[in-house]
């Protein structure tokens, strides 16, 4: 971490602190105040968007651990989210589990399903793994659609609102607090995981797995751990998504979504804690912008083809993913770092 | 018994088309070691383009089909030039992800220009079904198999005798040595992409003659990954052998398992095969096991 001139660490606790200077603390508290007073000035619609952003941040943080830190590509993340969502839905609506138990269980279920599909990662990597996870996506969605007795099949399944004790999270504002708290916990977990022994082992595997193995990193253990943690977070996100949206069908978890999650990690910046947050906010706000602007454009230019509204979104996202990979492969997090150092070094910015 | 024969014949025919599409993948992988995950979308967009040429612009076949080939060549060149070439020597993760971005983009283009999600190509092949023993097979299947086989033959001749084909094989073998011999590696790359797009387009037209144009074509493209995986990534022979195997498994399994397990099992059999191959023999039947140095 780059710190301003004259910041010295006199003990280990200070050295390891995430928030090191007064400015850090001030900005952090400012952020907390802004986030947690958001329901006061955001309308219901934008709170819904914020909730979706929070849920997606959890999922993409998991994918970032798997892909950004450990280097194991997964294009089936929407499938693992679906596993979490359906576990939560079945446990809470059919078996009467409380919300929190359902949350933890869906995390573990998604984690174990991820472990199964992650086993080939011990022997293969790159493209092979990408294909395995695509296969996982299709198989999971097929099972969800055809195991109608349990999952509701093509009809779907309705999910009760989340509640802890007597507290019920029925409207967007209360769900906003729930989701933000869990998101914050997940981000903190990911941050500390990445700084610790496990994260360093992941990074060693990403950079060169053979070298890592020779240095004494247990590949089997750590690759499967990465799959477990990544899919665990996907399961948590899925559970929150199920309780937030209230009604599940397999339409919510398509291959296109999986690709979009990969895109979010890439756009945000692989292997950074900040990356997933920025990437998710960027893509979700872009989605909102496109949703807002495409009817306007359609009215303004009647000559546009009929598929404009549905087609322009994927086109823009695909283009953004390609452009980021070509022009800024280190993502928005790197840009943010550049901005911070420019601010710190001002007026001598070199 | 007639149904068994029918499943076998249709399976072999569809498998040949899968093998053809997979060949396009193997081409790009061999020459530039880029994994092209946009295969399904390439199949989709070129089928729709054919539809646009033959039905919407109502061009005759002798003009519409060559235009599709031209379009595929152009598409391949564009993708290689603007998405892949800037990323030469980047980690494999970026190379895979960029093809995902291309896939997403192409899907958007398809729903932009052709918002109706289902369409049928005009009948290119004669309507009367063919009787092979007790089985009745519609002619599309036979033609698909024949055309795929013919293209295989042409491509293998190309690789054996044409200058560019030899250059492509050499690039697959050793890029540095090829550059030292003054073979333009970049043009080898873009040729391989153009070829891949053309075979994807032909495969797409053949498949959509059989089953119509839907978004299921993306899955068809993804299914040919199972051919690649089963056959081994860098083996053309693997494609030819594994394609019919996948087609057979899919059709026989779809035919006999559907009453037992439920509808739609046909569509995920190739994916189940991928998982099984991954667990047992991840480098496929004919692929070479990579030996790495630190």
Residues of chain B with Cβ-Cβ distance to A64 below 8 Å are none
Q: Please, which residues have CB within 8 angstroms of residue A276's CB and are 6 or more apart in sequence? A: A57, A60, A61, A63, A64, A264, A265, A268
Instruction: Classify residue A214 as exposed, middle or buried by CB count within 10 Å of its CB (0-12, 13-18, 19+).
Output: exposed
Q: Mean per-residue pLDDT for A226-249?
A: 94
Average pLDDT of chain A is 89
The architecture in CATH of the region B2-280 reads Orthogonal Bundle (1.10)
Which option is the CATH number for A39-345: 1.20.120, 1.10.1740, 1.10.3470, 2.60.40?
A: 1.10.3470
- Judged by CB atoms closer than 8 Å, whether chains meet at A135 and B272 is answered as yes
Out of A8-12, B29-33, B106-110, least confident range: B29-33
State the average pLDDT over residues A228-235: 96
The top-scoring range by mean pLDDT among A47-61, A250-264, B16-30, B121-135 is A47-61
Which pLDDT score is estimated for A178?
92
**Nearest chain B Cα to A213, which residue?**
B294
* Chain A, chain B: beta-carbon pairs less than 8 Å apart: 162
Per-residue pLDDT band at B212 (split at 50, 70, 90): confident
Q: Which A residues, 124 through 183, put their C-beta within 8 Å of a C-beta on chain B?
A: 124, 126-128, 130-132, 134-136, 138-139, 142, 145-146
pLDDT score for A350: 59
> Quick one: pLDDT at residue B2?
75
Taking CB atoms and an 8 Å cutoff, what residues of chain B touch A306?
Answer: 115
Task: Please compute the mean of the pLDDT values over residues A186-215 and round it to a whole number.
Answer: 92
- Residues B83-105: pLDDT tens digits? 888 888 788 888 888 999 999 99
pLDDT tens digits, residue range A89-128? 999 988 888 999 999 999 999 999 999 999 888 888 778 8
In terms of pLDDT, which residue wins out, B223 or B198?
B198
Cα four-point dihedral sign A51, A52, A53, A58? positive
A-contacting residues of B 68-87, CB under 8 Å?
A: 82-83, 86-87
Q: Which residues of A touch B86 (CB under 8 A)?
A: 326
Which of B173 and B183 is assigned the larger pLDDT?
B183
* B197 vs A: CB within 8 A: no
Question: Given a cut of 90, is residue A148 above it in pLDDT?
Answer: no
**pLDDT greater than 80 at residue B23:** yes
* End-to-end Cα distance, chain A: 17
Q: What is the pLDDT of residue B294?
A: 64
Residue A157's H or E segment, with its range, is strand A157-158
Q: Which residue of A has its CA nearest to B265?
A: A142
pLDDT 10s digits, B68-78: 999 999 999 99
User: What are the residue ranges spanned by the domains of chain A?
Assistant: 39-345
Block residue for tokens 């094989």:
B169
A215 touches chain B (CB under 8 A): no
**The predicted structure's pLDDT at residue B77:** 94
- The tokens for A188 are 């903190």
Nearest residue of chain A to residue B223 (CA atoms): A135
Residues A53-82, mean pLDDT to the nearest whole number: 94
B215 touches chain A (CB under 8 A): no
Query: Which residues does chain B have within 8 Å of residue A307's beta carbon, measured at their own beta carbons?
Result: 111-115
Most confident residue range from A58-72, B120-134, B165-179, B228-242 = A58-72
Chain B residues in contact with A262 by the CB 8 A cut-off are: 97, 100
Looking at residue B221, its pLDDT comes to 83
pLDDT confidence of residue A241: 94
User: pTM to 2 decimals?
Assistant: 0.91
């Amino acid at each position: 971490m780059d710190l301003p001139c004259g910041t010295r660490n006199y003990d280990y606790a200070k050295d390891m602190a995430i928030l090191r200077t007064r400015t850090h603390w001030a900005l952090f508290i400012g952020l907390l105040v802004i986030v947690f007073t958001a329901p006061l000035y955001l309308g219901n619609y934008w709170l819904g968007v914020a909730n979706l952003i929070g849920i997606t941040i959890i999922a993409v943080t998991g994918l970032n651990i798997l892909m950004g830190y450990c280097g194991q590509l997964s294009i089936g993340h929407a499938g693992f989210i679906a596993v979490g969502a359906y576990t939560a839905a079945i446990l809470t609506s059919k078996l009467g589990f409380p919300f929190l138990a359902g949350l933890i269980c869906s995390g573990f279920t998604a984690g174990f399903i991820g472990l199964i599909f992650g086993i080939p990662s011990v022997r293969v990597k790159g493209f092979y793994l990408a294909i395995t996870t695509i296969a996982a996506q299709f198989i999971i969605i097929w099972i969800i659609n055809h195991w109608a007795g349990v999952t509701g099949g093509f009809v779907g399944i309705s999910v009760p609102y989340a509640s802890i004790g007597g507290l019920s999270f029925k409207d967007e504002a209360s769900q906003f607090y729930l989701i933000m708290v869990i998101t914050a916990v997940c981000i903190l977990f990911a941050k500390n995981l990445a700084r610790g022994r496990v994260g360093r082992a992941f990074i060693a595997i990403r950079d060169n797995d053979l070298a890592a193995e020779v240095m004494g990193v247990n590949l089997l253990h750590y690759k499967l751990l990465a799959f477990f943690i990544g899919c665990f977070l996907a399961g948590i996100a899925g559970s929150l998504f199920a309780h937030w949206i209230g009604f599940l069908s397999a339409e919510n978890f398509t291959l296109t979504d999986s690709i979009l999650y990969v895109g979010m990690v890439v756009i945000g910046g692989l292997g950074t804690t900040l990356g997933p947050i920025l990437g998710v906010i960027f893509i979700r706000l872009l989605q909102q912008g496109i949703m807002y602007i495409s009817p306007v454009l359609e009215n303004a230019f009647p000559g546009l083809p009929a598929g404009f509204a549905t087609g322009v979104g994927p086109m823009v996202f695909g283009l953004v993913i390609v452009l980021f990979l070509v022009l800024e492969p280190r993502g928005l997090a790197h840009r943010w770092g550049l901005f911070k150092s420019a601010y710190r070094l001002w007026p001598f910015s070199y | 018994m007639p149904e068994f024969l029918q499943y076998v014949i249709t399976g072999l025919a569809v498998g040949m088309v899968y093998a053809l599409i997979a060949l396009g993948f193997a081409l790009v992988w061999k020459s530039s070691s880029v994994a092209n995950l946009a295969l399904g979308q390439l199949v989709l967009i070129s089928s729709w383009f054919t539809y646009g040429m033959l039905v919407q612009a109502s061009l005759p076949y002798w003009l519409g089909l060559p235009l599709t080939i031209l379009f595929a060549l152009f598409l391949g060149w564009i993708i290689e030039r603007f998405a892949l070439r800037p990323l030469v020597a980047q980690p494999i993760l970026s190379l895979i992800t960029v093809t995902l971005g291309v896939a997403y983009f192409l899907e958007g283009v398809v729903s932009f220009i052709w918002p109706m999600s289902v369409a049928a190509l005009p009948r290119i092949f004669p309507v009367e079904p063919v009787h092979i023993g007790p089985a009745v097979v519609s002619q599309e299947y036979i033609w698909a198999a024949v055309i795929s086989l013919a293209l295989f033959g042409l491509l293998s001749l190309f690789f054996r005798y044409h200058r560019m084909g030899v250059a492509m094989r050499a690039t697959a073998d050793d890029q540095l040595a090829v550059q030292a011999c003054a073979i333009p590696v970049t043009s080898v790359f873009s040729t391989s992409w153009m070829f891949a797009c053309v075979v994807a387009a032909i495969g797409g037209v053949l498949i959509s003659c059989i089953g119509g144009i839907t978004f299921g074509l993306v899955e068809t493209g993804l299914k040919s990954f199972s051919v690649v995986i089963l056959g081994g990534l860098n083996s053309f022979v693997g494609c030819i052998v594994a394609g019919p195997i996948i087609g057979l498994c899919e059709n026989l399994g779809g035919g006999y398992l559907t009453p037992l397990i439920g509808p739609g099992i046909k569509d995920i059999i190739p994916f189940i095969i991928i998982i099984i191959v991954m667990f047992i023999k991840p480098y496929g039947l004919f692929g070479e096991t990579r030996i790495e140095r630190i």
